[in-house]
Amino acid sequence: MSILGLKKKQPKTFKVKVITMDAEMEFSCEVKWKGKDLFDLVCRTVGLRETWFFGLRYTVKDTYAWLKPEKRVLDQEVPKDSPITFHFLAKFFPEKVEEELVQEITQHLFFLQVKKQILDEEIFCSPEASVLLASYAVQAKYGDYDPNFHKPGFLAQDELLPKRVLMQYQMTADMWEEKITAWYAEHRGIARDEAEMEYLKIAQDLEMYGVSYFAITQNKRDTDLLLGVDAQGLHIYSPSSKLNPNRSFPWSDIRNISYSEKEFTIKPLDKKKDVFKFYSSQLRVNKLILQLCIGNHDLFMRRRKVDSIEVQQMKAQAKEEKARKKMERQILAREKQMREEAERAKEEMERRLFQLQDEARLANEALLRSEETADLLAEKAQIAEEEAKLLAHKAAEAEQERQRLEVTAMKTKEEKRLMEQKMREAEQLAVKLVEQSERRLKEADHLKQDLTEAKDAERRAKQKLLEITKTTYPANFMLIRGGYSSSRLDFKDSDMKRLSMEIERERLEYMEKSKNLQDQLKELKSEIESLKLEEQQQQAGLYIHHECTFLHTDFLCLVLQRNSAYMSQMAFFEEV
């Protein structure tokens, strides 16, 4: 067996993991691929055409490096991990983002990278600018502000401000959110790409934007300095301040840049000016500085030339794309406005529908009540009709009763006339009885007076006789008294008998007449009672009943008074 057969078979591919600002991708690369092959694959995958701004960065020990396009990937100092990790980042920054960044994807990648550098405090930003940038970031992420949708606390999970800014002021997260939302509400109508572009336009004015810093020392004095490389040139800073450079070398003033080992030389275009030399800690850092200087200088010179055909086409396409998107946004805005109006109209119609439904419900309830009322009224009408029929029947009966009462009234009138006649006769009879009673009373009074006079005469005679007897004729007193008394008694007895007979005869006559009157009164009472029973509910009958009753009562009272008076007189005479 040969030694070659014992060697392991080398793999033809290797795994690569590329991390962009918003995604991670894995590729299977051939061993012979150069850095340009992998870079082009990533750009095609992302859809990026402005490739001159970007590069693939990897970590080497305690620093970083950019993948060189002309060398094979595996021949460079890439990590030996599997998969090999690269970061797809912006290597060079434009001077004016609005003019140089053409594609929307390019703007988006720059926006994400600059935003991360600001939040990581790699780029210094004041609190005011941080709040404004955060409002544009929120606009790019959430679109137009809607108070009904974006409730308080909707930014709680978003990292929008550097920690340095948050620690600088004693403000709560809700207070920061309120400030950001106040600016965010004013960005209404700005699309995502426009919001990102506004973010970059503010960020490009920051002092540390697009600057790559390296630690250097100046020759012979070993003073620590910082070298800054950006799109405009080289800058020398003191370690304590990265904002204001101590010295700057614009690309237009630099004639040549070179390095030898750790020494780096900047030759000004003006030969009268001194050459600036500095030292870096590693050779790898000098290579990186030189690489960044060459790339930034090339882009600096490129900006001052006429755009290439490719760039002109890209700008034309981008312009058309922006015009198309602007038109689409306008159409979308109109559609959105129309939809909002339609929704408002719908809400109004729904409100009106609910109102009409309520009105219809109330109308139905009113209709039901009306129907119930109508049924009730119909029932009442039926009852009223029945009552009307009953009343008509009763009216007919009342009419018959009226006719009968008229006939009865006619009979009653005749009976009343006869009754009145009888009453008049009874009154006449009563008057006669009263007159006789008065006459008898007068006679009784006369008799009583005569009797009283006779008693008085008798008493006087007795007194006189007694006086005479005592004085003149004492012997014959008893004889005379006896004879006189006998004659006087005879006279008294004969007169009293005669008077008693007359009184008895008159009493018998009066009793006979009273009995006849009582019989007549009883007959009249029975007739009145029969009329009362027959005509109890008739007015004429009631009137006659009351009138006859009153007359009968008065008459009976009068007769009884007269009778009692007469009977008392008779009793007096009987006593006498």
Q: What is the 3-state secondary structure (H, E, C) of 325-390?
A: HHHHHHHHHHHHHHHHHHHHHHHHHHHHHHHHHHHHHHHHHHHHHHHHHHHHHHHHHHHHHHHHHH
- Whether 262 has a binding-site annotation, put simply, is no
Would you say the C-alpha torsion 400, 403, 407, 410 has a positive or negative sign? positive
- Whether 147 has a binding-site annotation, put simply, is no
pLDDT at 548: 43
Q: Which CATH number fits domain 212-304: 3.40.5.50, 2.30.29.30, 3.90.1150.10, 3.30.470.10?
A: 2.30.29.30
Cα gap 234→227, rounded to integer Å: 7
pLDDT at 562: 55
Residue 448 · residue 572 · CB < 8 Å: yes
Cα gap 221→278, rounded to integer Å: 10
Q: Tokens for 142, please give them.
A: 């959430």
pLDDT at 161: 92
pLDDT at 4: 44
Q: How many CA atoms lie within 13 A of 557 on its CB side?
A: 6
User: What residue ranges of the chain have pLDDT lower than 50?
Assistant: 1-7, 472-492, 540-553, 555-556, 559, 573-574, 576
Instruction: State the CATH class of domain 13-90.
Output: alpha beta
* Residue whose C-alpha is closest to residue 192's, from 99, 329, 70: 329
pTM exceeds 0.75, yes or no: no
pLDDT at 381: 79
pLDDT at 16: 92
Q: Tokens for 500, please give them.
A: 């008693």
Neighbours of 6 (CB within 10 A): 7
- Specify the 3-state DSSP secondary structure of 64: strand
- Within its chain, how far is the Cα of 432 from the centroid? 100
Cα gap 548→560, rounded to integer Å: 18
Would you say the C-alpha torsion 285, 287, 288, 294 has a positive or negative sign? positive
DSSP sequence for 225-272: EEEEE-SSEEEEE-TT-SSS-SEEEEGGGEEEEEEETTEEEEEESSTT
Look up residue 34 and give its DSSP letter. B
Cα gap 547→507, rounded to integer Å: 32
Cα gap 173→156, rounded to integer Å: 8
pLDDT at 198: 94
One-letter identity of residue 518: Q
Inter-CA distances, 103 with 107, 110, 209, 290, 319, Å = 6, 11, 20, 28, 10
Helices in 472-538 by DSSP H: which ranges? 477-534
Residue 173 · residue 161 · CB < 8 Å: no
pLDDT at 369: 84
- Whether 380 has a binding-site annotation, put simply, is no
- Specify the 3-state DSSP secondary structure of 412: helix
- Whether 277 has a binding-site annotation, put simply, is no
Domain residue ranges of the chain, discontinuous segments joined by +? 13-90, 212-304, 357-470
pLDDT at 126: 92
List CB contacts of 573: < 8 A, sequence separation 6 or more. 444, 447, 448, 499, 500, 503
**Residue matched to tokens 């008076």:** 565
- Whether 70 has a binding-site annotation, put simply, is yes
